[in-house]
Homo-oligomer: A and B are copies of this chain.
């Protein structure tokens, strides 16, 4: 149990709304196919908004919600599947965009694809609990853009763009907020089920053998679904044993909004009640690593999650990685 607190949350949604009708026209899909298959009605997509621009606004809003100023921040972690550019890290550009004092914070990036925010929250919670940093800002900003695969509409229609941020501090005396338990497991037998082959050393952008499709998202949805279903049950059972919580004692479960099927299984197979689940998939789509902090930020903003609530953040990401963190909010 770590005595740290999510002191404030913020998010940013791109201005442009992309409807299913837009995408069904683009990809030549039957009207109604997207909502029927994915459960998504619309999603935002960035136009002029860069990864850093979206992230900085989410960060400012999280600081405002925490009642803290940018000068208080001594750690900035950019936690996302996507980065602004290869060098330097996105967090350094966030420091500059936020107007944070030069030299006043440590900046680095963490990547565990869709679970980047959860993995960052684990490390940051430990660093703040130990006193290495006093006020940490985790910023997750995802901008899909050219990474959408026009040859794979079933994945391209899923994704939305968004940024979300959280301020992490030590819990003040007499408050209950805590990180109760963090649990992850990577099953690399599934590493090739969700990929962008390019963007690294294996298929570098300047390598003449790199094709444009390698720089886009490829997913074997049904294989992921089967694999995740097989391994998630034991993982979640173990998670609840370690937290000491029963599933019915959870005030809210905030899942990664991978797809309608992935959310459905949480209720049908893993024992969550539908009213426990925080779901923004229909209006936001799958916002990659921003999905979990965005859904959390929206649920806190509209009062579905309150201080003292038992909240489980959980999901599946490329790798294939399972993750869950239990917090007393």
Contact = CB atoms under 8 A, between A and B. Distances in A.
Interface of A: 2, 50-51, 76, 81-93, 95-96, 100, 102-113, 115-116, 119, 122-123, 126-127, 129-130, 132, 143, 145-147, 182, 184-189, 191, 194-207, 210, 212, 215-217, 231, 317-321
Residue from A115, A199, A320 having most chain B Cβ neighbours under 10 A: A199
A146 B207 contact: yes
Residue from A123, A146, A198 having most chain B Cβ neighbours under 10 A: A123
Nearest to A234: B103
18 contacts: A83-B111, A84-B200, A86-B196, A86-B198, A86-B199, A88-B194, A88-B321, A89-B113, A103-B231, A105-B185, A106-B184, A106-B185, A108-B111, A111-B111, A126-B132, A147-B206, A205-B205, A206-B215
Contacts of A318: 87-89, 92
Contact of A205 (B81, B91, B189, B199): B199
B81 A203 contact: no
A127 to B, nearest CB: 6
B106 A109 contact: no
A13 to B, nearest CB: 16
Contacts of A122: 127, 132
Contacts of A107: 112, 186, 188, 319, 321
Nearest to A85: B200
A103 B186 contact: yes
B110 A110 contact: yes
A177 B89 CA distance: 31
Given A82-B200, A96-B191, A197-B85, A109 B108 contact: no
A84 B191 CA distance: 12
B186 A105 contact: yes
B126 A87 contact: no
Nearest to A97: B188
A146 B199 contact: no
Contacts of A201: 50-51, 82-85, 143, 145, 147
A146 B206 contact: yes
Given A82-B200, A86-B196, A95-B186, 16 more contacts: A83-B199, A84-B202, A85-B197, A85-B203, A87-B194, A88-B195, A88-B318, A95-B188, A96-B188, A96-B189, A96-B191, A103-B186, A105-B185, A105-B186, A122-B132, A126-B127
Contacts of A130: 2, 126, 129-130
A111 B82 contact: no
Contacts of A88: 113, 191, 194-195, 317-321
Contacts of A194: 87-88
Q: Which 9 A-B pairs have the closest CB atoms?
A: A86-B199, A205-B205, A86-B196, A88-B318, A96-B188, A106-B184, A107-B186, A146-B204, A108-B112
Contact of A87 (B113, B205, B231): B113
Nearest to A79: B108
A147 B204 contact: yes
